[in-house]
Structure 1
């Protein structure tokens, strides 16, 4: 899930057509055999105010990246998720919908790595994967994360054939106060705090509208839920899940997570009804 989707730099990533398509496939395609017809996908994107040319362009980019594969089902043209895309979405579910927050007593996991210059592309992939897992940077070649991420880290390193470059160490630090200060250097908590605030600013009014009884129908639920999930799903990948003791006192990540959970609870069912009505029950 990269940012090179053809949008302008000023346009938020969460409003880009390709991001919406990834969300739609993650929510509704897997239960339909991983396939959605082109006509249904265009209709769903239209509900999100994305015109057909923009939607088709985004589909083409996802196809070029190997995430979507062209297929016909029952005579209808459409696109299926590739095995790579299924793996990405399955991994993402764990992070987006319920990754636990660490406790201070858990300790830490250090990743110490060295990648030869001749394999610089692997170095880029390694850093990207460690960042995706929630590691912060202590020094060049030394990254840190809560210890409970060891198993997930081992699995990801193995999957991407990166294990040979990395040594993992369990670690403890005896002075929590100092760790709290260092955490602000190892991770961009200030930037993450800002992103959580933007999510709250955008979707507090959405929840208030549904709570007040002024909500619309299934189509509006689909619109609101896809937008909320698309905006939310990158935040768990930026948040290392640090223990509360190490977070700033005004940390708004907990409130943002509660807001997303309530929106999810209210909108999942009507949004699913709308998507199913458009997709027409056709499965691969």
Structure 2
């Protein structure tokens, strides 16, 4: 497990997204507490995190013979989008595919929306060119459109499909639009934490499902932030020492080895099956 503390609410999000969705999206509170205990999160911390997730509209209380919580229907699209981003193509964008440019202007009386836009565009992988002008690889257009519409922010934003034609050297410019050192620091932290785990597990032929779960959930929780902060810029625009490739390889290796036994562990502990209504 990572030495960096991960919030219980983030771990619960991962458990729902990776395991409970394919098992029906619901779990009893007793079983959720038992699952989180495997991750060294105690019952009071689980209940506090659930309360926050309920307030954010992520979870809804529902009794199915026992008290429990299900994913709110409103967040299914968010989790589906996350799957595409986290488990989809990890290859760099093609420079020939162009860019998506977001231009927004928010009245001072609605500056909370301005902050929300900046935060959301950052998490979509956009770089900031100047005030109110943001840029991302063209393949992020659909995700940007869907996210801004879902959050009710589309009325403030214009999206353009664009190409860069002049005047600066593009590679030097993008290094000022994205915070490369911050992105690389997170990749380095991930690889430093989980590279030794991947190396050890490569030598093991039979992985205990409980151990797999204890490694996989924190690993996926730490990883799933990175495909959002990293827009997947074309390779020719990246620094020569770009460390994303090693981190992605580590993630793919661990996902391939740990995901299935982790799911078996969740099914064994909860008794849930894939055909749960």
Which band: TM-score by shorter chain?
over 0.9
Match of 1:279 in 2: 270
Matched, 1:106 2:116: no
Q: Which moved more, 1:110-119 or 1:12-21?
A: 12-21
Judge conservation of contact 1:37–1:77 (CA < 8 Å) in 2. yes
Structure 1 position 79, deviation (Å): 0.4
Structure 1 gaps, min length 5: 1-10
Give the structure 2 partner of residue 7 of structure 1: none
Partner of 1:93: 83
Please, what TM-score do these two structures have when normalized by structure 1?
A: 0.90
Q: Measured at CA, do residues 196 and 133 of structure 1 come closer, stay the same or move farther in structure 2, by a change above 3 Å?
A: same
**Aligned residue pairs, count:** 273
Cα pair distance change 1:137/1:124, threshold 3 Å: same
Pairing 1:59-208 to 2, within 5 Å after superposition: 59-73=50-64, 75-99=65-89, 100-174=91-165, 178-208=169-199
How many Å apart are 1:211 and its aligned residue?
A: 1.0
CA offsets per residue over residues 60-95 of structure 1, 9 Å max, x none?
Answer: 11112221111111x211101112332221111111
Are positions 1:21 and 2:12 aligned together? Answer: yes
Q: TM-score, normalised by structure 2?
A: 0.92
Give me the whole-angstrom Cα distance separating, in 2, the residues matched to 1:214 and 1:53: 37
Q: Distance in 2 between matches of 1:13 and 1:62?
A: 22
| Segment of structure 1 superposing worse, 254-263 or 104-113 | 104-113
- SS at structure 2 position matched to 1:31: coil
Q: Secondary structure at the match of 1:21?
A: helix
Rounded to whole Å, the distance in 2 between the matches of 1:281 and 1:64 is 26
Alignment of 1:220 with 2:227, yes or no, is: no
Instruction: Encode CA deviations 1:126-175: one digit per residue, 9 max, x unaligned.
Output: 22221122111000011111122222222222222322222222332246
Q: How far off is 1:264 after superposition?
A: 0.6
User: Is 2:229 aligned against 1:238?
Assistant: yes
Unmatched tracts of structure 2, length 5 or more: none
The answer (yes or no) to whether the contact 1:14–1:230 under 8 Å persists in 2 is: no
2:238 matched to which residue of 1?
Answer: 247
* 8 A contact 2:15–2:217 mirrored in 1: yes
- In the alignment, the residues of structure 1 paired with residue 46 and residue 212 of structure 2 have an alpha-carbon distance, to the nearest angstrom, of 20
In the alignment, what sits opposite 2:33?
42
- Tell me by how many angstroms 1:260 deviates: 0.5
* Residue 41 to residue 162, structure 1, CA distance change in 2 (3 Å): same
- Could you tell me how far apart the structure 2 residues matched to 1:48 and 1:215 are? 21
